[in-house]
């Protein structure tokens, strides 16, 4: 004989409960359902219809089980939602953009055509975004279930300064994550290589840069990190910080351009490969070089101007 509706209902309810409470809940729920059915049949109701009515009244067993287990019926509750949202937005600003630029650059360097470069860069950025969203959410769902504390309690000190110009915590984290990624990429490039061509990893940067020039770049990146931290601690731009920012931007641009001009920036192996495998003629190579130089200059100029603009704005308030 197949199980009655009541048996099936109870089994469905207690299935997800801790083993030690299962039998107790089963016995109690069975008695409660039997009491309720009996009360209805005493009124002259058909036993089968009464059973159906009672079970329908109790509702979805999963909801009842969540009540017994004191489990949340949501993926993320108010306790973690805001932290999750802030972090996710921050990461979605940073990670896919880095993936886009990184993949685009490496595809361009191995001589892929325009369509492939954009296609690869977009698809990698999308994949990165999906991964970021999924893993971040998963971590918070686990936090929600285990009740761990994120130690993020709000206080009045967290109130943002009025009209701040990129000195908030989000900007600090963004800067540090980006600079950290740069350092990681440097190390990776040195040890393994950033570009994969036909199963082999090739470094992007010239091997001759190690150790002096690489360490100089590391020093610049570390100085940028210190700059970001000081900026966050001060909470506003000042002339000193703008000067430091300008010096750092010029240092980086100078570093890159000096090496590039002497054919010491990019790995000759990679360039050779780009010429042969990518079938890029000297003319296109030259164009690519110009684009790279212009980008380096543009980024540096934007960084410098941005720093001074924010300094002026902060001085006015």
Partner 1 sequence: MVWGMSDAVDTHLQELRRGTVVLACLQLLREPGYGYALLERLDSHGLPTDANTLYPLLRRLEKQGFLTSEWNTEESRPRKFYSTSADGIRLAETLQQEWRALTESLSSLTEPDPAHEES
| Alpha-carbon gap, residue 60 to 68, rounded angstroms | 13
Least spacing, CB of residue 41 vs partner 1, in Å: 14
| Alpha-carbon gap, residue 224 to 299, rounded angstroms | 14
- Of 60 and 263, which CB lies nearer to partner 1 in the complex structure? 60
Q: How many CB atoms lie within 10 A of CB 96?
A: 21
Least spacing, CB of residue 165 vs partner 1, in Å: 43
- Of 18 and 187, which CB lies nearer to partner 1 in the complex structure? 18
Least spacing, CB of residue 148 vs partner 1, in Å: 21
109 CB contacts (<8 Å, ≥6 apart)? 195, 204, 266, 270, 274
Least spacing, CB of residue 141 vs partner 1, in Å: 22
Element (H, E) at 67: helix 61-69
Least spacing, CB of residue 42 vs partner 1, in Å: 12
Q: How many CB atoms lie within 10 A of CB 111?
A: 22
Q: How far is CA 184 from CA 134, 179, 187, 188, 210, in A?
A: 23, 9, 5, 6, 15
- Of 64 and 108, which CB lies nearer to partner 1 in the complex structure? 64
Q: How many CB atoms lie within 10 A of CB 236?
A: 17
- Of 27 and 261, which CB lies nearer to partner 1 in the complex structure? 27
Indicate the burial class of 149 (C-beta count within 10 angstroms; 0-12, 13-18, 19 or more): exposed
- Of 59 and 180, which CB lies nearer to partner 1 in the complex structure? 59
Pair 98, 181: CB distance under 8 Å: yes
- Of 28 and 113, which CB lies nearer to partner 1 in the complex structure? 28
Pair 174, 92: CB distance under 8 Å: no
Q: Which residues bind partner 1 (CB under 8 A)?
A: 21, 24-25, 27-29, 31-32, 34-36, 39, 57-59, 63-64, 67-68, 70
Least spacing, CB of residue 61 vs partner 1, in Å: 9
Least spacing, CB of residue 17 vs partner 1, in Å: 10
- Of 9 and 140, which CB lies nearer to partner 1 in the complex structure? 9
């Amino acid at each position: 004989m197949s199980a009655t509706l009541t048996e099936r209902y109870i089994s469905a309810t207690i299935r997800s409960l801790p083993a030690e409470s299962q039998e107790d809940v089963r016995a109690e729920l069975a008695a409660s359902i039997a009491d309720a059915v009996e009360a209805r049949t005493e009124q002259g109701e058909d036993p089968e219809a009464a059973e159906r009515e009672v079970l329908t009244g109790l509702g979805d067993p999963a909801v009842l089980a969540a009540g017994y287990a004191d489990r949340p019926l949501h993926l993320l509750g108010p306790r973690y939602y805001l932290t999750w949202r802030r972090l996710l937005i921050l990461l979605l600003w940073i990670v896919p953009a880095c993936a886009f630029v990184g993949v685009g650059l490496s595809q361009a360097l191995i001589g892929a055509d325009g369509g492939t470069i954009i296609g690869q860069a977009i698809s990698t950025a999308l994949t990165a975004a999906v991964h970021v969203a999924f893993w971040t959410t998963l971590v918070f769902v686990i936090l929600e279930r285990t009740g761990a504390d994120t130690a993020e309690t709000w206080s009045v000190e967290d109130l943002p300064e009025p009209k701040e110009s990129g000195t908030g915590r989000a900007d600090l984290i963004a800067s540090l994550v980006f600079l950290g990624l740069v350092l990681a990429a440097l190390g990776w490039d040195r040890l393994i290589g950033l570009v994969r061509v036909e199963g082999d990893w090739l470094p992007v940067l010239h091997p001759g840069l190690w150790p002096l020039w690489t360490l100089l770049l590391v020093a610049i990146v570390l100085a940028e990190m210190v700059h970001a931290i000081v900026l966050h601690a001060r909470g506003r731009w000042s002339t000193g910080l703008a000067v430091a920012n300008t010096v750092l931007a010029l240092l980086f641009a100078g570093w890159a351009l000096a090496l590039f001009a002497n054919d010491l920036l990019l790995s000759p192996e990679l360039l050779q490969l780009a010429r042969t495998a990518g079938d890029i003629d000297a003319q296109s190579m030259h164009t690519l070089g110009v684009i790279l130089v212009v980008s380096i200059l543009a980024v540096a100029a934007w960084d410098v101007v941005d720093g001074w603009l924010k300094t002026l704005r902060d001085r006015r308030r």
